[in-house]
Amino acid sequence: MFKRSILQITALSLFISGGITCAVNAQQTTVTLHADHPLNTISKHIYGHFAEHLGRCIYDGFYVGDSSSIPNTAGVRNDIIAALKNLNIPNLRWPGGCFADRYHWKDGVGPKSERPSIVNTMWGGVTEDNSFGTHDFLNMCKLLGTEPYLAGNTGSGTVQELADWVQYVNFEGKSPMSDLRVKNGQAKPWNVKFWGVGNEAWGCGGNMTPEYYVGEFRRYATFMEGKDLFKIASGANVDDYHWTETLMKGIPLRMMDGIALHHYSFPSWEKKGPSTGFSEQQYFETMKTALRMDELITKHTAIMDRYDPKKKIALVVDEWGGWWNVEPGTNPGFLYQQNTMRDAMIAGATLNIFNNHSDRVRVANLAQCVNVLQAVILTSKEKMLLSPTYHVMEMYKVHQDATLLPVEVRSDDYVFGQDKLPSVSVSASKDAKGLTHVSVVNINSSKTEEIEIVLTGGQYKSVKGRILTSAKVDDHNTFEKPDLIKPAVFKGAALKDGKLKVKLPPFSLAVLELN
């Protein structure tokens, strides 16, 4: 764990508003919020989650089996259901990830005693009994009140297999697949809207070229028949702009509804470092990777705009989050890691970026939900804890389906060595009740940021808010101290003469409500 140091403030800062940046001289962060220029709706689906057959996410995470002493409904933990319902999670992606292109859905339906076992060759080489399958997942989504997002197998599967899955879960009339669904105990279809046509086709989904994948997508999508399907193409890895260009050029807009983008945050891919006890350099480099999300979205959007100026096709960031070395003594293939205030900074800054780009980014999925990567929930036998990232998602849920309000941010700098990053990021929205919410993040490791927010075009009489902060940037909740980090009432904001003055401690975030 690094010690806080006094950092020199330098002149160059960035302002981000819907992807626009400019250089200014700033000693204090200033923000202009344009309440009189409402923009698009921030889709609630930006706040989606991800549950892959990976490590202890499904088995010994969500799913403990109906004979478990842990309170459950049809084998799914009741405490996890309650926690996720509190987040208003809008969608949940399953069964992968890389696992999706190795998964054959018919192995996971029918009597559990008759389902074949499989080896999860992608993650840990463990044997799974397929006791958690399509019915289990879709019925769990009903318990959660969330929309399922099914990732189809285009790597090791067939066109017929995916077409059958669509018919099995969505067709209400009489057909071979709907008859099989009824035989397996589900009379009514689930009417699944979101469908991924493969995952990471450039890598674990088949090591395809973009030109080859275009043909595969067109073939699979043709036979995925049904109304109101939202078909998501396997999109680029980070900055592979050629991939996006090839898909936009080669796939008719009428055939797809979204293109995926995957981007993770870490000091470096080769040396991810520990989840706790990291150095300041590792923290700084991680935040540089996280803030790069704005650049990636801006550049992928520019390509998409050339072919789709009306923004019909969504950019779907269906894998994002922090990625560290696994916890000592755990299976390397399980990707189990702790979740600290650094993860909270990634979440807050990334969600601000998504909000500000919500004209094009309309679906996103944090990776992953339980016990894997930047999880919002960790479990140990009967115990469960909520991570700092969970609390960020809970605080930010006020932006779901609210109207984006543009902000201009001229940020003070967070300086490390010869490098620098903007300390502060902001997004704002107005909800259906007329309340304005402003989410503010300070990633600076040592400096309290004094932020002046000029409120134009709106009359506000009061402000209140909550803050997420802690003493050290690698602080985290444990099963012994599950509430070390949790939201608290924020007393560092004052409203006067159309301006909001905010004092935000190092590595902290606040969500303010203006009325």
Give the residue numbers marked as catalytic: 200, 319
Give the pair of three-digit tokens for residue 305. Answer: 């705009």
In the three-class reduction of DSSP (H, G, I as helix; E, B as strand; rest coil), residue 484 is classed as coil
**Cβ contacts of residue 456 below 8 Å, gap of 6+?**
32, 33, 34, 35, 36, 498
Cβ-in-10-Å burial (0-12, 13-18, 19+) of 254 comes to exposed
Q: How many CB atoms lie within 10 A of CB 32?
A: 17
Give the pair of three-digit tokens for residue 239. Answer: 């900055």
The CA distances from residue 447 to 4, 9, 415, 440, 508, in Å, are: 9, 10, 10, 15, 11
Q: How many CB atoms lie within 10 A of CB 214?
A: 20
In the three-class reduction of DSSP (H, G, I as helix; E, B as strand; rest coil), residue 407 is classed as strand
Residues composing the chain: 515
Asked whether 402 and 431 are in contact (CB, 8 A), the reply is yes
Q: How many CB atoms lie within 10 A of CB 310?
A: 7
In the three-class reduction of DSSP (H, G, I as helix; E, B as strand; rest coil), residue 58 is classed as coil
The CA distances from residue 205 to 98, 139, 422, in Å, are: 6, 27, 36
- Counting Cα atoms < 13 Å in the Cβ hemisphere of 203 gives 14
For 143-188, the DSSP string reads HHT-EEEEEE--SSS-HHHHHHHHHHHH--SS-HHHHHHHHTT--S
What is the rounded distance in angstroms from the CA atom of residue 287 to the CA atom of residue 442? 11
What is the rounded distance in angstroms from the CA atom of residue 233 to the CA atom of residue 205? 12
Query: Rounded to the nearest 10 degrees, what angle do helices 176-183 and 159-170 cross at?
Result: 60
**Cβ contacts of residue 183 below 8 Å, gap of 6+?**
none
What is the rounded distance in angstroms from the CA atom of residue 314 to the CA atom of residue 236? 13
Give the pair of three-digit tokens for residue 54. Answer: 């990976």
Give the pair of three-digit tokens for residue 115. Answer: 């389902």
334 DSSP assignment = G
Give the pair of three-digit tokens for residue 477. Answer: 């909740």
| Side chain identity, residue 207 | N
